[in-house]
Amino acid sequence: MIIVMRVIGYANGNACAFENQFLRNYVHETSDGLGYGCYTFDLNKAMRFENMKAAIKFWQRVPSCYPLLEDGRLNRPMMAITMEFLSLDKLIANDC
């Protein structure tokens, strides 16, 4: 089952310019380990994952260049964004 991610918003509740957009690309190692993402409203350009496990693993990835935060917790920059994990087949079937 192919999975795509759609942005719900920032995990801290702040306004998010990427709300309701699909993840197009994300580079965990850039910006000194703070990461950088590109987003799109176009489902055809959305990043695809082979299954839910692969999508969650990507979302939780820890950059090797900055693995720990100052407080000792793992640095998982993508998790600052709350994502919805969606089946591509169901999206296409529902024309969403």
Counting beta carbons within 10 angstroms of the beta carbon of residue 59, is it exposed (0 to 12), middle (13 to 18) or buried (19 or more)? middle
Q: What pLDDT tens digit does each residue of the chain (96 aa) get?
A: 999 999 999 999 999 999 999 999 999 999 988 899 999 999 999 999 999 999 999 999 999 999 999 999 999 999 999 999 999 988 888 865
DSSP for 17-60, written as a single string: TTTTPEEEEEETTHHHHT-EEEEES-GGGS--BSSHHHHHHHHT
**Domain span holding position 27:** 3-94
Q: How far apart are CA 61 and CA 68, in angstroms?
A: 12
> How many domains in the chain?
1
Query: What is the pTM (predicted TM-score) of this model?
Result: 0.90
